[in-house]
Structure 1
Amino acid sequence: MHLRRIELVDVRSYDRAALHLDPGVTVLVGRNAQGKTNLLEAVLRAATGGSHRVASDAPLVRAGADLGVIRCEVVTDEGRRRTIELEVGTGRRTRTKVDGQDVRRAADAAGVLRVVLFAPEDVAIVRGDPAERRRFLDDLLSQRRPAFAAARGEYERVLRQRNQLLKQARGLTGSAREGAGATLEVWTEQLVTHGTQLLAARIAAVRALAGPVDAAYRDLADRPEPVGLTYRSSTGVVIDGHAEVDERVPDPGPLADAMRTALAEVAHEEVQRGLTLVGPHRDELELSIGPLPARGYSSHGEAWSLALSLKLATEAVLAEVGDRPVVLLDDVFAELDVVRRGKLADACAAFDQVLVTAAVEEDVPLEGVRVDVTIDGGVSQLSVRGAVA
């Protein structure tokens, strides 16, 4: 697919701006703090329902405005034109329209626009806490299968209710504690039901990613060390992404049994601590380069190359199901040496559409349209310069 047009009204540093885009490469060029990343953030928000920089929509609204508007027009791989429009504000519910019609939930807009974003913050996938890697898998799955986002929402709802009950049970005695225990069993079974769905989907994603990530890293980093992906569940299940399996999606039955068993083993400790200790919210995706774990042992260049390889592999995995995603690269080339820049440029040639930001135009060895991004009176301006061969 490709993003044909984006329009912003009172979003971040933009008063009113519109940009028509063609397939291929578009490079947004401008000094730092001109609004380049703000544009990519708006595209990501429309596509996935979230920002890679902030947790809420309030910072997306331009200072002094009540709400911001993001409008995107998309052309699918089959040539169908679709639209998505968001109204985001401070302290108000986001209003979402798909193809001109209001949708009840933001999740109903998932999949209209598909994107893969790589930004400097994504190095945290390699070097950060396990939550960063869980989020990476869940974001991939939410775009690949929009129903996954709803399943994750249900799991998180059940987890909150179960944790609340565990905290209450700590101070109960006698019949009250027995009653809480019976209720806890109900929530535990719901946790197993929804948690098994997440676990099976994540394992399938790891198996799908393992080969493409390894290939992308070897090419991008030009190094012989293999990259490994291992999913380590808090239930005790350990999955090697490179292991040969008959089916990519695992049988949920054994996963559910393992989760029930693990929860039973920590039941007493959970009540003491008032916290659910087993489930997808406590799982880990382990990344390794050669024999060493990437977290804590990778160099700056290795961490960057591996994080970028994970995102390049995401494009391949998403393209297996549905439209091919738009690739967004935020100030990536500046962090790479000449050899890796060339390798990334070769990879970009295979994508349908790429939007790139750069402070220095010469850092980007890609042919395509250049758009100058400047600040005038505190407001970002877009000026299409034309194609550069």
Structure 2
Amino acid sequence: MIVEHLNLVDFRNYATADLTLHRGPNVLVGRNGQGKTNLAEAIVFLATLGSHRVSADAPMVRDGHEFAIIRARLSVGERRVLIEVQLNRQGSNKARINGSPVKTSELPRYAHVVLFAPEDLQIVRGDPSARRRFADQLLIQRAPRMAGVLGDYDRVLKQRTALLKSARARGIRGEALTTLEVWDDKLVALGSEIIVARQRLAADLQAPLAEAYSAIAGADHRPELEWALSVRGGDPEEGEPAETVALERADIAETFRAALLAKRTQELDRGLTLVGPHRDDLLMRVRSLPVKGYASHGESWSVALALRLASAELLRSESPAGDPVLILDDVFAELDADRRRRLATLTSGYEQVVVTAAVEEDIPEVLHRHVVRIDAGTIIDDRADANTSSSAEASDQTDEGSDA
């Protein structure tokens, strides 16, 4: 898959922006805060229906405006596809494919993107939510229908938790709360499907992860992935160990329901749903030790990069659309010279690579080809005449609207 052209309207610091991209490596160069990462973020949103920087859509809409538009022309084999999403500050987003309205969940069927970013270190070192987010965004690209399952689960979870809080406030206990069983049924059905998909994802990532880690680190430290499931006891979200033995598909719903019953008193006391995929954690090990808390800085970066490379290889092997687009967002500035060279070599063979950097010299030569310069929201293509450069009006937005 190739992103041939990107058009933005009222997205982050851009009033309007047009960016032409080519097959092979593309380099976006500019000082920090000029809008490079905003361009990368827009492409990623089309594939994952989310941002790698914020959990809500509103910060991506330019200050003073009610919605933003992301529009991209994709080349998928011999086909050309125009995909578009309108991000609304309030209400549901809207999407179009070749001009026809579709559900936003349809977009990842066409756009496959893998992003490498400094924030990736939080997947390894941060709290469980960062790892769940990584897994779920990859799930959506692998099976776009999972966007609906995850969205439905979140809605049921909010409604069930609201009921628990209301019951706590009114002093309703035990069997008197009969309506909770209805939400339990929905939570178990949707949550079981998520657990199955996540466990399969971890298993399928294992081989490409080991290969990618060895290529990045230059050593075989036996990286491993396992899900710690709250339905097996414990609470990974709060640091309480949970069993990591994978559950058989047929046993998940029964185990989930039993765990909800076992936690019922605690849930009513706290007004929280304490069991389910929203409390699980993806555990990572190297040399049989947990990465979080034991791995060195270099090992942590190697795991983070290997996770992204393994994701790309998994999508590449499964997608009839060809390679995913790789976006390396300011990542080379974070790496030592050896990891820069290894990562550049491993990614240069993909159909399309987009690299952002504040310092052009940070980019290894193998990726240094088509250069686009970004300056205060103005996009200048080195391949084009200065007179035909694409200009975008930049607002005074200096907080989350600009890349760090």
Q: What SS does the corresponding residue of 1:155 show, helix, strand or coil? A: helix
The residue aligned with 1:188 is 184
Verify: 1:75 aligned to 2:75, yes or no. yes
Task: Name 2:148's counterpart in structure 1.
Answer: 150
User: How far off is 1:281 after superposition?
Assistant: 0.9
Task: Answer yes or no: is the 8 Å Cα contact 1:15–1:380 preserved in 2.
Answer: no
SS in 2 for 1:33: coil
Distance verdict in 2 for CA 1:68–1:160, change over 3 Å = closer
2:157 maps to amino acid: L
* Distance of 1:4 and 1:14 partners within structure 2: 19
User: Equivalent residue of 2:260, what SS?
Assistant: helix
Kindly provide the CA deviation profile for residues 17-65 of structure 1, in whole angstroms up to 9, marking residues without a partner as x: 3222222111112222222111101111222222112233333234455
Contact 2:28 2:374 in 1 (8 A): no
Instruction: Say whether the 8 Å CA contact 2:2–2:23 is kept in structure 1.
Output: yes
CA-CA distance at 1:10 after TM superposition: 3.0
Aligned to 1:352: 351
- Between the aligned partners of 1:60 and 1:73, the Cα distance in structure 2 is 20
Q: 1:170-209 counterparts in 2 under 5 A? A: 170-171=168-169, 178-180=175-177, 182-209=178-205
Partner of 1:275: 272
1:140 Cα deviation from its structure 2 partner: 0.5
Task: Determine helix, strand or coil for the equivalent of 2:157.
Answer: helix
Q: Is the 8 A contact 2:26 2:372 kept in 1?
A: no
Structure 2 CA distance for aligned equivalents of residues 233 and 57 of structure 1: 29
Deviation at 1:264, TM superposition (A): 2.0
Distance 1:190 1:272 in 2: 22
Supply the distance in 1 between the matched residues of 2:26 and 2:327 (Cα, whole angstroms).
10
- What TM-score, normalized to structure 1? 0.89
Query: Which residue identity does 1:264 align to in structure 2?
Result: L
**1:329-372 CA distance string (max 9 Å, x none):** 00112222222122112211331211001122222222453323
Matched, 1:35 2:32: no
2:282 counterpart residue number: 285
Does residue 265 in structure 1 map to residue 229 in structure 2? no
Cα offset for 1:307?
0.8
AA aligned to 1:58 is A
State the SS of the aligned residue for 1:51: coil
Distance of aligned partners of 1:270 and 1:69 in 2 relative to their CA distance in 1, 3 Å threshold: closer
Aligned pairs for 1:1-389 within 5 A: 1-63=1-63, 65=65, 67-76=67-76, 78-91=77-90, 93-103=92-102, 105-171=103-169, 178-180=175-177, 182-236=178-232, 238-239=243-244, 251-322=248-319, 323=321, 324-365=323-364, 366-375=366-375, 378-385=376-383
Evaluate the alpha carbon distance shift between residue 19 and residue 58 of structure 1 in structure 2; reply closer, same or farther with a 3 A threshold.
Answer: same
Q: Is the 8 A contact 1:66 1:90 kept in 2?
A: yes
**Secondary structure at 2:349's aligned position in 1?**
coil
In 2: Cα distance, 1:139 partner to 1:118 partner: 13
- Cα deviation digits, residues 123-170 of structure 1 (max 9, x gap): 100000011111111111011101111111121122122212222333
The residue identity in structure 1 corresponding to 2:109 is: G
Where structure 1 has 5 or more consecutive residues not aligned to the other structure, the ranges are: 242-249
Question: 2:236 maps to what in 1?
Answer: none
Q: SS at 2:141's partner residue?
A: helix
> Matched residues in 2 for 1:64 and 1:168: separation?
36
**CA–CA distance in structure 1, aligned partners of residues 243 and 206 of structure 2:** 14
- 1:379 to 1:364, Cα distance in 2 relative to 1, 3 A: closer
Provide the alpha-carbon RMSD of the alignment: 2.2
- State the 1:309 CA deviation: 0.8
> What is the identity percentage for the equivalent residue pairs of Structure 1 and Structure 2?
43
CA distance in 2, matches of 1:263, 1:163: 13
Deviation at 1:118, TM superposition (A): 1.1
8 A contact 1:126–1:294 mirrored in 2: yes
Q: CA deviation at 1:374?
A: 3.2
SS at match of 1:351: coil
Change (3 A) 1:367 1:80: same
Give the secondary-structure state (helix, strand or coil) at the position aligned to 2:166: helix
Q: Which runs of 5+ in 2 are unaligned?
A: 233-241, 385-404
18 and 173 in structure 1: CA distance in 2 versus 1, 3 angstrom threshold: closer
Q: Distance in 2 between matches of 1:23 and 1:59?
A: 31
Q: Work out the number of aligned pairs and report it.
A: 372
Amino acid at match of 2:196: A
Give the Cα–Cα distance (whole angstroms) in 1 for the partners of residues 90 and 270 of structure 2: 34
> Scaled by the length of structure 2, what TM-score is found?
0.85
Q: Name whichever of 184-193 and 134-143 sits farther off.
A: 184-193
Listed one character per residue, the Cα deviations across residues 255-295 of structure 1 (whole Å, up to 9, x for unaligned) are 11211222222222222222221111111111112132111
**In structure 1, what is the Cα distance between the partners aligned to 2:358 and 2:275?**
45
Is the CA contact 1:203–1:239 (under 8 Å) kept in the aligned structure 2?
no
Quick one: which amino acid aligns to residue 215 of structure 1? E
| Whole-angstrom CA distance in 1 between matches of 2:272 and 2:7 | 45
CA 1:65 to 1:274, structure 2 compared with 1: closer, same or farther past 3 Å?
closer
CA shift, 1:4, in A, is 1.2
Q: Is the 8 A contact 1:14 1:381 kept in 2?
A: no
Give SS of 1:8's match: strand
Secondary structure of 1:196's partner?
helix
In structure 2, what is the Cα distance between the partners aligned to 1:67 and 1:4? 24
Describe the SS at the equivalent of 1:235: helix
Q: Is the Cα–Cα contact under 8 Å of residues 344 and 367 in structure 2 kept in the other structure?
A: no
| Matching residue of 1:245 | none
Asked whether the 8 Å contact 2:210–2:220 carries over to 1, the reply is no
